[in-house]
């Protein structure tokens, strides 16, 4: 089966928020939700919000449904943007490595619950951000477009 | 429901932040202070330079074109002739910054062409609990002096920003300083006269104190302050607003009566636009009005709108429509997702 290619449009604010959170978290992983929308075959990531994981370690961060849903609803209220909603996850790696097999498994698993593809961003120790897209349980190829400003 | 556009106001405030100017201002101030402190004659007069002005009070906006240094001469007495001292300061600074120093009527200006900003050095002598600066210097170097207390305004600014909070449970949500910046931007956009930022800063201070404002959004604070200024300015044409730093004194401006009247008219128009924007229920229509109110960045290489339109708005205030757009999901995945 040939899976369609997915475009990812990343707003500058997403990268800067994730980079700032990575710096603040120091040696422990942190992560959160990506907020945005889907348009014409693209995933548009507009904001990244942090969701605390009190059990995060130097090698793991876990999205907890209750805390994440609360954070999502709070952000949607504050941002008051009619197109925004959950479109994926992000987390940081204190090491210089991109998405692990476990990361890909988790976003694939999560994507089974949505009609549209989900995006995973992983911030590496060298400030590079790597992306994965999963759609209904499968990893898809992607093209990343970065927006410098609003 | 009114469109408060909190995210766009945060971005607007970020667009008028001084940015690199802040670093440059700090460096220029340090360089000038170091030269003044190294001079023997000024050392004998107890020179103690102090950064003052809008930059020091964190209410300056892009671009910062001048920085004020208050050269306190702590050992000076009433015999001090400001003309001679200003000549000396000019000479000392000219040696350190050749070709960049200009003696002005009451101060000495040092240009920093690489930073595209200047430092204004004002000398001051002690006067009881505060200071005096020369008001008018005669040809023989004598002068009349005027009391001033620039550090007091810094203290009042800090206090006001602690007193007026956007969120009662967040002591870092001070709203006074952001609103001063927005009022300064409105003034730059709506009033032709480019001097007088401090005058409107003081008016903003009085608006907060007089009305004891307690709102939930930046949009509401800005609107009420603009209305207060528009209503009050015509009454201040002759005397100016009370000086919050010195009892029984008022803030003087070089603006003429006609210029102040014209500014009052423009602020009335701006206040009306803000009120209309605040009452507007459609976010896109409201955003265009706020964009018109705050105008574009001034003195920057490229003028940019200060107030960004939300992603979902067209420039004419209509809402974008796309048949291929699907909003993000309202719920996160069930259960736990572990990343490692």
**Domain final position from B148, B174, B201:** B148
Which carries the bigger pLDDT value, residue B273 or residue B20?
B273
Q: Give the mean model confidence (pLDDT) for residues B44-56.
A: 93
* Contact (CB<8Å) A72/B337: no
Strand A6-11 to A142-147 pairing: parallel
Assigned domain for A57 exists? no
- Domain residue limits at B166: 152-279
Q: Give the mean model confidence (pLDDT) for residues B225-239.
A: 94
Res B42: pLDDT: 97
Measure the CA–CA gap between B333 and B337, rounded to whole angstroms: 8
Instruction: Give residues with Cβ within 8 angstroms of B129, minimum separation 6.
Output: none
* Contact (CB<8Å) B338/A69: no
Assigned domain for B308 exists? no
Identify the residue among A113, A135, A136 best suited for mutation to test binding to B, counting B beta carbons within 10 A and taking the highest. A113
pTM of the model: 0.87
**How many CB atoms neighbour CB B140 within 10 A?**
9
Using CA of residue A77, residue A80, residue A85, residue A90, what is the dihedral sign? negative
- Output the six-digit token pair for B154: 């810094």
List the CATH number of the domain containing B41.
Answer: 3.30.460.90
Assigned domain for B77 exists? yes
Residue B15 contacts residue B9 (beta carbons within 8 Å): no
Assigned domain for B303 exists? no
Res B195: pLDDT: 65
Measure the CA–CA gap between B309 and B102, rounded to whole angstroms: 43
Res A150: pLDDT: 47
Which residues on chain B are in Cβ contact (under 8 Å) with A29?
A: 339
End-to-end CA distance of chain A: 37
List the CATH number of the domain containing A95.
Answer: 3.40.140.10
Q: Is the CB of B340 inside 8 Å of chain A's CB atoms?
A: yes
Is residue B193's pLDDT more than 70? no
Q: B137 and B254 in one domain?
A: no
Residue identified by tokens 């800090």 is B158
**Domain final position from B229, B249, B279:** B279
Measure the CA–CA gap between A68 and A63, rounded to whole angstroms: 6
Residue B305 contacts residue B196 (beta carbons within 8 Å): no
Instruction: Give the single-character DSSP code of B333.
Output: P
Q: B196 and B268 in one domain?
A: yes
Assigned domain for A1 exists? no
Assigned domain for B321 exists? no
The two counts, helices (H) then strands (E), for chain B are: 11, 9
**In chain B, what percentage of residues exceed pLDDT 70?**
98
Q: B208 and B126 in one domain?
A: no
Assigned domain for A143 exists? yes
pLDDT range class, residue B303, cuts 50, 70, 90? confident
Q: B212 and B130 in one domain?
A: no
How many Å separate Cα B11 from the centre of its chain? 18
Q: Report the number of distinct structural domains present in chain A.
A: 1
Q: Report the number of distinct structural domains present in chain B.
A: 2
Q: Is the CB of B334 inside 8 Å of chain A's CB atoms?
A: yes
Q: B234 and B172 in one domain?
A: yes
Q: B188 and B120 in one domain?
A: no
Q: B126 and B35 in one domain?
A: yes
């Amino acid at each position: 089966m040939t899976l369609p290619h997915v475009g990812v449009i990343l707003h500058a604010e997403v990268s800067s928020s994730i980079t700032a959170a990575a710096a603040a978290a120091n040696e422990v992983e942190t992560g959160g939700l990506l907020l945005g929308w889907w348009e014409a075959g693209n995933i548009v990531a507009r904001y990244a919000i942090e969701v605390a994981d009190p059990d995060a370690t130097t090698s793991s961060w876990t999205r907890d449904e209750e805390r994440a849903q609360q954070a999502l609803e709070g952000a949607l209220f504050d941002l008051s943007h009619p197109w925004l909603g959950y479109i994926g996850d992000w987390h940081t790696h204190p090491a210089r490595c991109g998405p692990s097999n476990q990361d890909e498994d988790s976003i694939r698993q999560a994507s089974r619950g949505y009609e549209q593809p989900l995006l995973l961003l992983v911030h590496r120790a060298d400030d590079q951000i790597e992306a994965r897209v999963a759609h209904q349980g499968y990893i898809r190829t992607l093209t990343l477009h970065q927006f410098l400003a609003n | 429901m009114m469109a408060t556009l909190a995210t766009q106001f945060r971005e607007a405030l970020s667009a008028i932040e001084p940015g690199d100017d802040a670093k440059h201002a700090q460096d220029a101030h340090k360089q000038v202070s170091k030269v003044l402190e190294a001079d023997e004659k000024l050392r004998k007069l107890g020179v103690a330079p102090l950064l003052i002005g809008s930059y020091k009070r964190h209410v300056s906006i892009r671009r910062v074109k001048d920085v004020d240094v208050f050269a306190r001469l702590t050992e000076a007495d009433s015999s001090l002739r400001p003309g001679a001292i200003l000549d000396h300061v000019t000479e000392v600074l000219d040696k350190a910054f050749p070709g960049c120093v200009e003696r002005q009527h009451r101060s000495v200006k040092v240009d920093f062409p690489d930073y595209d900003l200047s430092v204004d050095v004002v000398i001051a002598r002690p006067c009881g609990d505060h200071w005096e600066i020369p008001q008018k210097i005669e040809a023989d170097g004598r002068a009349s002096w005027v009391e001033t207390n620039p550090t007091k305004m810094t203290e009042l600014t800090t206090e006001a920003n602690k007193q007026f909070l956007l969120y009662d449970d967040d002591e870092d949500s001070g709203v006074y300083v952001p609103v001063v910046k927005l009022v300064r931007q409105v003034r730059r956009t709506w009033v032709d006269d480019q001097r007088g930022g401090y005058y409107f800063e003081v008016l903003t201070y009085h608006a907060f104190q007089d009305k004891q404002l307690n709102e939930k959004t930046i949009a509401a604070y800005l609107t009420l302050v603009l209305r207060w200024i528009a209503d009050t300015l015509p009454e201040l044409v002759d005397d100016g607003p009370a000086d919050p730093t010195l009892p029984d004194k008022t803030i003087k401006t070089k603006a003429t009566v006609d210029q102040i009247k014209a500014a009052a008219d423009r602020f009335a128009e701006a206040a009306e636009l803000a009120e209309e924007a605040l009452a507007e229920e459609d976010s896109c229509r409201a955003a265009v009005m706020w964009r018109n109110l705050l105008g574009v960045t001034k003195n920057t290489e490229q003028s940019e709108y200060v107030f960004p339109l939300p992603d979902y708005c067209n420039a004419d205030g209509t809402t974008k429509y796309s048949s291929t757009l699907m909003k993000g999901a309202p719920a996160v995945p069930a259960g736990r997702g572990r990343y490692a």
